[in-house]
């Protein structure tokens, strides 16, 4: 429906008259049809007069378009007082000739009618008012009062038709308010005359919570948002909160910011969250959501980033005191203006009002990090669909400003964690889960990263310890017997240690044994070696003995041979042989 | 500006006999409708208030700023300034009976 970004040429477009009312110009893609009358209808107390008045005041102040306010129900004084509560200085604008007020007094029964008449008197007054200040805008609030004052309806209707024609000819952008009728848009069928633009206001009560809605029923010749949009009347006038006017085209940062808990950063790919992302932190009661949030807030503030902490459960002082007990020092940061708390009870006012207040706080403080603790408290202030719409708007609004937001969310014990937040989690970029595990007569906190868009993250469950030094994340024991935390984890650790020790001792014993064996063998080896050596000696001695005796024998034989004069040659050969044999041995 | 005029008229009236009637006829231009209204009013006054009435005709075309102060809505309109309370009658006064009721005029016995 919306033509954001690529606007068609102005020639093809109906000229628009910006209202300056927050959100309304987005729905109508630029404002009300310029130079034509617009009908604003709705029941009692839904803000018709206020919308009309704001249209006029903003026109005079922001767009330099003076306006005429013709009131049929409230006197000038009443009107000035009523809109003063929204910060509009009507009297000042009247003095500066930016706005002309004209109260048309109609007292039914005070006037007698006799014969024909026309409403030229009204035309004269209007014309005079328009011309005296050069008005471009006109408000007629509530024209239908004429029906109560004038009996001749035939004349009245024809005169009204003439009036709207006249307004168009005059070229003023007019807003005509009318009371809502039972079966038609207005009680007296004014929509019949105003055919260019009709806006319907509505004030409904759902579950004891009243919400105002605005719908553009008709806008001839222009595209417009057809949905019903919640709107509210704050202390700066009306703001319509169109969910659809925010697109998914915000700028993206790849900068990462620390969570304030080093081990948690490590779980998120080592560098923490993306700047401008939205983070959901769910947990059952007492799992430390606020503490994680306070850590994040402190880390941001210490980096010098302005941080806004919306607290819907605890007072700021209570948070400061409680977090001091775990070593967080928030008070100096508050004093330095880096950290601001905004605390309000969720039941204080309706959802839309909360949203508007938050928008206002964000707009004035300009934070880089916003913490909402917890978002679920606000859920009580509206119906589920409204809450979702509200969170969407908040997320979009913050993302558009590249504000990193941490929402904590309380899950009632016994609910399925993932399911209860499913509607909200799709809006979030990261989702951390804090959980209690019960066992061994104790409750222990665990934390895990359920999702983290666009970053590598740990799939592990970590045990989450809160001590007076702060938060620590400990590897939980994960084994065959499941996730062990607390004393069970410690016991398991001791068990493992004992087992390791036993293995070490066993190894040492076996080593010693082998050493002993080796030594024994060595001893044996050296024994054998000495045996071997003595035997060799023996052998040599034997050889020598044999050699000597042979020599002696040969010598004797030679000698006897010489004596007998036997063949000498043979004997020399035999004499050499034994020598050789000795050498070999 | 208008309030001034009213006050002046009020002080003047105190000097007049108590029974004086001050009537104002608001018209736009001297159209046939205005003429009819004036003629009707004059006729009625002549028959019921002879000698003790004054009619002032105000042309809003010439004095448009007077319409706001006098709370004029329809044309023509007759306003009875005196005697108090102020009474207003819309239309060309063709319905005599209604005008008499509107002006709180009892027919002369």
**DSSP state, residue A460:** -
Pick from A462, A481, A500: which residue ends a domain?
A481
Q: In Å, how far is B46's CA from the nearest CA of chain A?
A: 18
Q: Which two tokens stand for residue A523?
A: 């001893």
> Residue A67 — very low, low, confident or very high, per pLDDT cuts 50/70/90?
very high
CB contact under 8 A, A113 and B90: yes
> Residue A1 — very low, low, confident or very high, per pLDDT cuts 50/70/90?
very low
Q: Least CB-CB distance to B77: which of A110, A121, A149?
A: A121
Q: Which two tokens stand for residue B93?
A: 């006064």
ipTM over 0.90: no
d(CA A50, CA A385): 27
CA angle A345, A350, A356 (to 5 degrees): 90
CB contact under 8 A, A112 and B40: no
Q: In Å, how far is B4's CA from the nearest CA of chain A?
A: 18
The number of distinct structural domains making up chain A is 3
Averaged pLDDT, A273-279: 89
Which SS3 state, helix, strand or coil, does residue A7 take?
coil
pLDDT tens profile A553-568: 888 888 887 877 766 5
Q: Which two tokens stand for residue A291?
A: 């503490």
Interface test with B, best of A72, A107, A112 (most B CBs within 10 A): A112
Residues A83, A216 within the same domain: yes
Q: Is residue A248 part of a domain?
A: no
> Residue A570 — very low, low, confident or very high, per pLDDT cuts 50/70/90?
low
Averaged pLDDT, A329-358: 84
The answer, yes or no, to whether residue A19 has pLDDT greater than 60, is: yes
Pick from A446, A481, A516: which residue ends a domain?
A481
Closest CA to A568 of A579, A554, A578: A554
Residues A477, A501 within the same domain: no
The answer, yes or no, to whether residue A527 has pLDDT greater than 70, is: yes
Contact A50, A81 (CB under 8 A): no
Averaged pLDDT, A15-26: 86
Q: Is residue A247 part of a domain?
A: no
Q: In Å, how far is A66's CA from the nearest CA of chain B?
A: 18
Q: Is residue A4 part of a domain?
A: no
- Collect all residues of chain A within an 8 Å Cβ-Cβ radius of residue B61: 124
% of chain B surpassing 70 pLDDT? 80
Residues A464, A511 within the same domain: no
Q: Is residue A361 part of a domain?
A: yes
CB contact under 8 A, B99 and A116: no
Mind spelling out the 3-state secondary structure of A193-222? CCCCEEEEEEEEEECCEEEEEEEEEEECCC
Top mean pLDDT of A223-227, A577-581, B6-10 is at A223-227
Q: Is residue A249 part of a domain?
A: no
Which residue carries 């004393």 as its tokens? Answer: A487
Q: What CATH number is attached to the domain comprising A443? A: 3.40.50.300
How many CB pairs below 8 Å do chains A and B form together? 96
Residues A203, A269 within the same domain: no
Residues A389, A529 within the same domain: no
pLDDT tens profile A121-173: 899 999 999 999 999 999 998 888 888 888 888 888 999 999 999 999 999 99
Residues A524, A429 within the same domain: no
Residues in a beta bridge with B89 = A112, B78
Which SS3 state, helix, strand or coil, does residue A19 take?
coil
Pick from A461, A481, A501: which residue ends a domain?
A481
Residues A419, A310 within the same domain: yes
Residues A404, A435 within the same domain: yes
Q: Is residue A292 part of a domain?
A: yes
Interface test with B, best of A70, A100, A108, A117 (most B CBs within 10 A): A117
Which residue carries 């006249």 as its tokens? Answer: A166
Pairing of strands B21-27, B77-82: antiparallel
Q: Is residue A3 part of a domain?
A: no
Q: Is residue A1 part of a domain?
A: no
What structural domains does chain B harbor? 2-9+18-102 (3.40.30.10)
Residues A230, A268 within the same domain: no
**What is the model's pLDDT at position A381?**
67
pLDDT tens profile A433-442: 888 887 778 8
Residues A203, A267 within the same domain: no
Closest CA to A259 of A398, A391, A455: A455
Pairing of strands A404-410, A278-283: parallel
**What is the model's pLDDT at position A574?**
52
d(CA B103, CA A112): 9
Residues A214, A189 within the same domain: yes
The range of the structural domain enclosing residue A226 comes to 10-240
**What is the model's pLDDT at position A480?**
65
Query: B58 touching A, CB under 8 A?
Result: no
Residues A338, A441 within the same domain: yes
**What is the model's pLDDT at position B16?**
44
CB contact under 8 A, A150 and B40: no
**What is the model's pLDDT at position B4?**
43
């Amino acid at each position: 429906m919306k033509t954001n970004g690529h606007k068609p040429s102005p020639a093809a477009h109906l000229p628009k008259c910006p209202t300056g009312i927050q959100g309304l110009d987005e729905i109508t893609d630029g404002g009300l049809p310029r130079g034509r009358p617009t009908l604003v209808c709705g029941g009692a107390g839904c803000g018709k007069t206020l919308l009309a008045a704001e249209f006029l005041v903003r026109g005079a102040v922001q767009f330099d378009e003076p306006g005429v306010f013709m009131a049929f129900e409230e006197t000038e004084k009443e009107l000035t007082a009523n809109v003063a509560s929204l910060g509009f200085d009507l009297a000042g604008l009247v003095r500066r000739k930016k706005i002309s007020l004209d109260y048309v007094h109609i007292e039914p029964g005070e006037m007698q009618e006799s014969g024909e008449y026309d409403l030229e008197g009204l035309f004269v007054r209007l014309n005079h008012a328009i011309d005296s200040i050069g008005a471009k805008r006109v408000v007629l609030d509530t024209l239908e009062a004429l029906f109560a004052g004038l009996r001749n309806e035939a004349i009245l209707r024809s005169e009204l038709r003439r009036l709207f024609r006249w307004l168009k000819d005059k070229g003023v952008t007019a807003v005509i308010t009318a009371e809502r009728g039972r079966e038609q848009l207005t009680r007296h069928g004014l929509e019949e005359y105003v055919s260019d633009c009709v806006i319907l206001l509505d004030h409904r009560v759902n579950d004891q919570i009243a919400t105002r809605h605005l719908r553009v029923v008709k806008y001839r010749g222009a595209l417009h948002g057809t949905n019903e949009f919640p709107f509210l009347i704050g202390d700066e006038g009306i703001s319509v909160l169109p969910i659809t006017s925010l697109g998914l085209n915000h700028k993206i940062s790849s900068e990462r910011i620390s969570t304030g808990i080093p081990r948690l950063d490590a779980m998120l790919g080592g560098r923490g969250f993306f700047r401008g992302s939205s983070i959901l932190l769910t947990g059952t009661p007492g799992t430390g959501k606020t503490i994680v949030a306070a850590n994040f807030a402190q880390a941001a503030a210490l980096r010098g980033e302005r941080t806004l902490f919306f607290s819907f459960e605890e007072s700021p002082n209570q948070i400061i005191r409680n977090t001091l007990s775990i070593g967080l020092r928030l008070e100096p940061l508050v004093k330095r203006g880096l950290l601001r708390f905004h605390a309000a009870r969720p039941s204080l006012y309706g959802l839309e009002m909360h949203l508007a207040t938050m928008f206002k706080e964000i707009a004035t403080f300009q934070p880089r990090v916003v913490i909402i603790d917890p978002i679920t408290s606000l859920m009580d202030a509206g119906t589920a669909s409204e809450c979702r719409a509200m969170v969407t708007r908040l997320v979009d609004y913050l993302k558009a400003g590249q504000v990193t937001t941490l929402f904590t969310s309380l899950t009632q014990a016994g609910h399925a964690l993932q399911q209860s937040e499913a509607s909200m989690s799709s809006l979030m970029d990261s989702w951390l889960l804090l959980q209690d595990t019960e066992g061994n007569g104790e409750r222990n906190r665990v934390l895990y990263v359920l999702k983290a868009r666009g970053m590598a993250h740990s799939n592990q469950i970590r045990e989450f310890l809160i001590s007076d030094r702060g938060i620590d994340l400990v590897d939980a024991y994960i084994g065959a017997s499941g996730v062990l935390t607390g004393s069970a984890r410690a016991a398991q650790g001791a068990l493992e240690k004992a087992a390791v020790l036993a293995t070490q001792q066993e190894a040492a014993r076996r080593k010693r044994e082998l050493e002993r064996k080796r030594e024994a063998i060595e001893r044996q080896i050296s024994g054998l070696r000495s045996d071997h050596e003595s035997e060799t000696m023996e052998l040599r001695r034997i050889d020598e003995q044999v050699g000597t005796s042979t020599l002696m024998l040969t010598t004797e034989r030679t000698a006897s041979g010489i004596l007998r004069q036997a063949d000498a040659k043979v004997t020399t050969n035999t004499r050499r042989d034994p020598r050789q044999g000795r050498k070999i041995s | 500006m208008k309030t001034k005029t009213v006050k002046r008229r009020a002080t003047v009236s105190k000097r007049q006999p108590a029974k004086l009637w001050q009537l104002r006829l608001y018209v736009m231009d001297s159209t046939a409708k205005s003429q009819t209204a004036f003629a009707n009013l004059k006729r009625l006054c002549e028959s019921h208030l002879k000698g003790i009435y004054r009619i002032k005709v105000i042309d809003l075309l010439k004095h448009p700023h007077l319409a706001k102060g006098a709370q004029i809505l329809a044309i023509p309109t007759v306003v009875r300034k005196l005697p108090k309370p102020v009474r207003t009658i819309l239309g060309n006064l063709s319905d005599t009976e209604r005008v008499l009721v509107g002006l709180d005029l009892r027919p002369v016995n």
